[in-house]
Structure 1
Amino acid sequence: MKKIYLFVLAIFCLTAYHVQAQIKWDAQKFMPLSEIKPGMKGKGYTVFSGTTVEEFDFEVVSIYYNRFPGLHIVWAKGVSDNFKRTGSAGGMSGSPMYIDGRLIGALSRSYRNQREHANLFGITPIEFMIKVTEYGMQPKLSYQGTQLFNFGTETVAESIDATTLLFSKRSSEYTPQSFDSLQMDYFSEQLPLPVAMSGVNSETMRFYKPLFDKFNLMPLESPGGGSEVKKSPVEQGQIVGVAYARGDYTAFGYGTITYIDGEELLAYGHSRDGEGNVNLPISGGYVHFIMPGRFRSSKVASATQIIGTLVQDRQPAIAGIIGEHPSYIPVTLNMETADGGLHHRSYEVIRHRSFSPVYVEAGAASLVRALEFAAADHTLTVGTTITLKPQPGLLSREIVYKNVYSSGGSPQYGVMSVLRTPLLQLSNNAYTPVAFEKIELNLKLENKRRSARIERIQVDKQRYRPGETVEVIMTLRPYLENPITLMGTITIPNDTPDGLITLLAMNATADAQWQRSRAPLNFRPKNINQLVKVLQQHENNTDIIFELFLSQPGLTIQGEEFSNLPTSVMSVMNSAKQVGESGYTRSTTLHRDRLSTKYVIFGSGALALVVDRNAP
């Protein structure tokens, strides 16, 4: 009993220490802004290659007071040859700057397109950086990441493509004019954080570029295997950052360590995303080289070992603790390629409600592209299982999806379409926080396109009795093949009233669009369990779906549809005194059936039929 008491006491004391701990001002180590004057010379420290911290010389040029309210910036120019060759490069954010042996702050800002030998850069004073630790040095255990994208229930209800919400078409197609370029050249900005990713290509980068631009991230190419160095020193001037993904796919956003005090560190001289109290794993890094650029140079680096936890992300700096770190989400990808080969890949991504889906999707797309091809005729069978961690009230922890895709484009798009909606919807749901336990993908690729388009549908007559079976004859046009004829059937229910009904024959995509427009409230969940249920509703892409419907409104109440209700009953149930819990449907579904094929089906068609109890 005494041992348990001592253990609990030790944990309490350690927790209390980190909550209260902060880096204290030390006049012997730090130089205040009031002592810094133009013309003073000093030395900066950063890694230009490998893990060796090199010094470079600088001279103070001026001081900006209140560059931001209450935050001042020291401006300096690099004067040594090693710095002149690169200028202020991406990844140098946080490089410690010393005058007379005392730390004055971190390199953090610069101008674009500086002329040769200008080499101006901004320094965030250390006195502002250490104030970040006053918010406490304990990770926020409930941290999920800021909801950077606003997803309401309408995203599920209307089957909105998340791509348009994340990356607007306007932003991706906008071409800067000369005034915009001139304007940006004359405004300083914090150094962008490089994000080095393995398996990137220009097509993928065009897709994600608006996201990186929005958060001042600089996407770069990086080797998936990293470097021969798997462990780097944890010291001032070394690389530090967040490894968004680790394993067979990597993504690493990084800057430089400014100061270490025991188990606590300061870095960047500016925020990462400005999320405040956070809980993210941080890693060391290895610099392969500095890539010179006309716009701005950048360090190209790979993550090494995980060194601790990022706990504060605020405007003057980020702060972390060395030691333990939060867990990642494991992702496995098993793929049978067209040659019959079996391939197993695995990686893990950070736990963040906005960035986890992005890097899970980007990683899977990158690996699929690497294992096969960029674009060619293919058929891809996709099986996905997303497993959630147990939590009270969650009835089903697994979201299972299996389908077939076929086209002449890239197989990565089939994988991306399967992952994007459930991951974003679950991560950003408005009902309860959820945590992913693991994600598994099982893929099979054929180097043949198996798709067919519905060209024509017909029936043998127009008038049917209730209870009679309708034979539907369809003409399909397989890709690069002659048309074929298939026949499906659907039975008219016995209680169908006389009059006009509509027969639909459609592929899975058309069916999903129709159902969401016909009865949108069926797809507007009210809790996490309804959301999980909605995300698992799908039709097979190789099926032709038949539906008979009556142009008569029904009613949806709390996600459950009621049809064939008398008008008086619907009026009472859908009271005008409230909205949101119930609503009318555009039509009433009488019956649904399916015809399985060996093709991925495209297209749809509709026919009007007459129900007549006296029909021959």
Structure 2
Amino acid sequence: AFRKALNWNRPFADRPDETHLAGVSAVAGLGGSQLGTLLRPIATPLVMSGFEPELADVFGSAFREQGFVPSGGGAAGFRTGEAPFEGPLKPGDAVGVMLVSGDLQLGGTGTVTHIDGDRVYAFGHPMYNLGPTEFPMTRAYVYTVLPSLFSSMKLSSTGEIIGTFLQDRATAIAGRLGPGPRMIPVTISLQSGRAPNQTFHFGVVNDQLFGPLMTYASILNTLGSYERQYGSATFGVRGSATVRNHDAIAFNNLFSGDQASMGAAAYVVAPITYLMGNDYEKVDLESVSVTFSSTEEPRTATLERVWLDDPRPRAGRTVPLKILFRTYRGEEVVRTLPLDIPANASGTLSLLVSDGARLGLTEQREARLPQPRSVDQMIKALNKARRNNTLYIKLLGSDAGAVVNGELLSSLPPSVLGVLEGDRNGGNFNPLHSATVAQWELPTEHAVAGSRTLTITVSPN
């Protein structure tokens, strides 16, 4: 046992093949919370280039809580061949971990501890202790150090990619020199009536945690840099995220109000986070391309009233539905939507007119939302998500239905329901006590809020 202890006491660089870099156990019987009052992990300097100062402060406060020390970098870092690096990477040199590259740059910097062939060991502490990673390794240049008894800071920039960091552990980060890993290309286009169109290109690290986070930070910074950061605004969002071997995620929505930019950025990132964290299979996000159209005026409206022009609707006939909503400035807008009543509809039915958010909550309470059971079903559900600038109309009857294996089945015969009821212990069956007879959508130019319900009696044709 004594020899084994001495054997493991050798420097970790003597064991270059074991780059798993085991974590640190509790010291002298102290738990993590007790140890936290005595020792504090070394923070990782975080270089943010191209970020607005106000947004950098917001992101910086969040990063500080996670053990990073944000600092400003060069406007666009160094181009290949322009950085003041001399010779190959060696112990004691600065090294970077790239999280965002391109028109924006964001990454952590630290010091090389040891190099063994093409293997690189750095930092001497974790970056985020993520375990296996695929982070781009870059050269880094430290301009100066700002010493402080409270918390010193480095002013630095990242350079060209020289390899890949494959491990992020409690004692170090480790990787190999050579080509860098694949990053997710993101293209953001801005369209505004008050300024020329702009297009930005950047890459974000292909990681379940940092990929969505860096995408959100980059989009929000881009929107905040070219549109006003305070006051009401409206952002239209259109685009897609392509997924290898699966259908693309489509983006099409409208956000208006005091925090429209945050809503628009979160709308793009939320499906990516959901998909990359799925429990079914590893997802390869190939690219993200989004166009934002903006105006500095709010485009919100409230649903006020709905009514039918025909007081006696009949099955198989077309009935005009009148919808009145009031805009932000108090203007009343009346829209007409022709409803084709199904030929098999009859009796007392409910006509629901609602915005997407309220309809989603209603369906969730009634357990109507199918639970995806595969990546394909997840993407299908994401592409069917309700939009803020659309009113949803549903004609509801009393026929029973069910959600089976993530699929919504309406108006099932009693015999089929009986068979499904007997197999409900499998957890793939959820009964529904009303059915959607027909449904329609009414796109608008505003982010509409509100819900109204009509009770109608449909006569047979």
TM-score of the superposition, structure 2-length normalised?
0.85
What is the Cα deviation at residue 472 of structure 1? Answer: 2.9
Match of 1:49 in 2: none
1:431 partner amino acid: Y
Map residues 500-515 of structure 1 onto 2, 5 A cutoff.
501-515=349-363
Q: 1:482 aligns with which of 328, 331, 353?
A: 331
Say yes or no: does 1:423 pair with 2:306. Answer: no
Structure 2 residue aligned with 1:383, among 223, 238, 241? Answer: 238
Q: What is the CA–CA distance in structure 2 between the aligned matches of 1:576 and 1:458, rounded to whole Å? A: 42
Render the CA deviation track for 1:116-167: whole Å, top value 9, x for unaligned.
xxxxxxxxx9944425624159xxxxxxxxxxxxxxxxxxxxxxxxxxxxxx
Q: Secondary structure at the match of 2:90?
A: coil
* 1:193 is the counterpart of 2:14: no
Supply the AA of the counterpart residue of 1:347. F
1:454 aligns to 2:303 (yes or no) = yes
1:254 aligned residue (75, 88, 109): 109
Pairing 1:403–2:286 present: no
Deviation at 1:447, TM superposition (A): 2.6
> What is the CA–CA distance in structure 2 between the aligned matches of 1:195 and 1:132, rounded to whole Å?
29
Partner of 1:554: 401
Match of 1:356 in 2: 211
C-alpha displacement of 1:218: 2.9
Report the counterpart of residue 534 of structure 1 in structure 2. Answer: 381
On the 8 A contact 2:391/2:444 being kept in 1, the answer is yes
Distance 1:553 1:203 in 2: 51
- Alignment equivalent of 2:422, drawn from 575, 579, 589: 575
SS of the equivalent of 1:189 reads coil
Aligned length, in residue pairs: 439
Change beyond 3 A, Cα 1:311–1:231: farther
For residues 450 and 56 of structure 2, the distance between their equivalents in structure 1, rounded to whole angstroms, comes to 28
- Extract unaligned runs of 5+ from structure 2: 21-33
Counterpart of 1:232 in structure 2: which amino acid? F
What SS does the corresponding residue of 1:423 show, helix, strand or coil? Answer: helix
How far apart are 1:240 and its partner, in Å? 1.3
* Cα distance in 2, alignment partners of residues 520 and 596 from structure 1: 23
Q: Give the conservation status (yes or no) of the 8 Å contact 1:451–1:601.
A: yes
Tell me the CA shift for residue 411 of structure 1.
Answer: 4.4
SS at 2:422's partner residue? Answer: coil
Match of 1:594 among 428, 433, 441: 441
Structure 2 SS opposite 1:486: strand
Change (3 A) 1:277 1:564: closer
Amino acid at match of 1:318: I
Separation of aligned partners in 2, 1:382 and 1:259? 47
Partner of 2:341: 492
Asked if the contact 1:133–1:312 (Cα under 8 Å) also holds between the matched residues in 2, the reply is no
- For residue 531 of structure 1, what is the amino acid of its counterpart? M
User: Aligned partners of 2:229, 2:147: CA distance in 1, in Å?
Assistant: 29
What letter corresponds to residue 16 of structure 2 in structure 1? T
Whichever residue aligns with residue 483 of structure 1, its letter is E
In the TM superposition, residue 453 of structure 1 has moved relative to its aligned partner by 1.2
Greater Rg, structure 1 or structure 2? 1
Offset, 1:343:
0.8
Shift in CA distance, 453/521, structure 1 to aligned 2, threshold 3 Å: closer
Contact 2:326 2:333 in 1 (8 A): yes
Q: Post-superposition shift, 1:190?
A: 1.8
1:399/1:132 CA distance change after superposition, 3 Å:
farther
Is 1:222 matched up with 2:69?
no
Distance across 1 between alignment mates of 2:9 and 2:142: 25
DSSP 3-state at the match of 1:387: strand
Distance 1:554 1:343, change over 3 A: same
The aligned counterpart of 1:59 is none
The answer as to whether partners of 2:90 and 2:112 remain within 8 angstroms in 1 is yes
Change (3 A) 1:552 1:301: farther
Compared with structure 1, are the counterparts of its residues 266 and 558 closer, same or farther at alpha carbon in structure 2 (3 Å cutoff)? same
| CA distances 1:550-591 after superposition (whole Å, capped 9, x unpaired) | 244311222322222233421212324533222113531111
The whole-number CA distance in structure 2 between the counterparts of 1:262 and 1:585 is 64
CA distance in 2, matches of 1:514, 1:132: 58
Matches within 5 A, 1:38-187: 127-130=10-13, 133-136=16-19, 187=38
| Conservation of the 8 A alpha-carbon contact between 1:132 and 1:314 | no
Decide whether aligned partners of structure 1 residues 551 and 528 sit closer, same or farther in structure 2, where only a CA change above 3 A counts. Answer: same
Counterpart in 1 of 2:29? none
Whole-angstrom distance in 1 between the partners of 2:425 and 2:314? 40
CA 515–469 in structure 1, closer or farther in 2 if over 3 Å, else same: farther
Determine the structure 2 residue equivalent to 1:65.
none
* Partner AA of 1:564 in structure 2: S
Measure the CA separation in 1 of the matches of 2:460 and 2:428. Answer: 37
Give the corresponding residue for 1:39. Answer: none
Instruction: Read off the aligned partner of 1:570 and give its amino acid letter.
Output: L
How far apart in 2 are the matches of 1:225 and 1:262?
31
Partner residue, 2:453? 606
CA displacement 1:218-237 (0-9 Å, x = unmatched): 33343441258535342332
For residues 426 and 186 of structure 1, the distance between their equivalents in structure 2, rounded to whole angstroms, comes to: 37
Instruction: Provide Cα deviations, 1:372-413, integer angstroms capped at 9, x if missing partner.
Output: 2213333222112111234xxx4x2x2222222222x24422
Cα distance change of structure 1 residues 553 and 195 upon mapping to structure 2, 3 Å threshold: farther
Structure 2 equivalent of residue 413 of structure 1: 262
SS in 2 for 1:476: strand
Runs of at least 5 residues in structure 1 that lack an aligned partner in the other structure: 1-69, 72-124, 138-182
Deviation at 1:540, TM superposition (A): 4.3
Residues 418-450 of structure 1 deviation map (CA, whole Å, 9 limit, x = unaligned)? 212221122111111121221111122123222
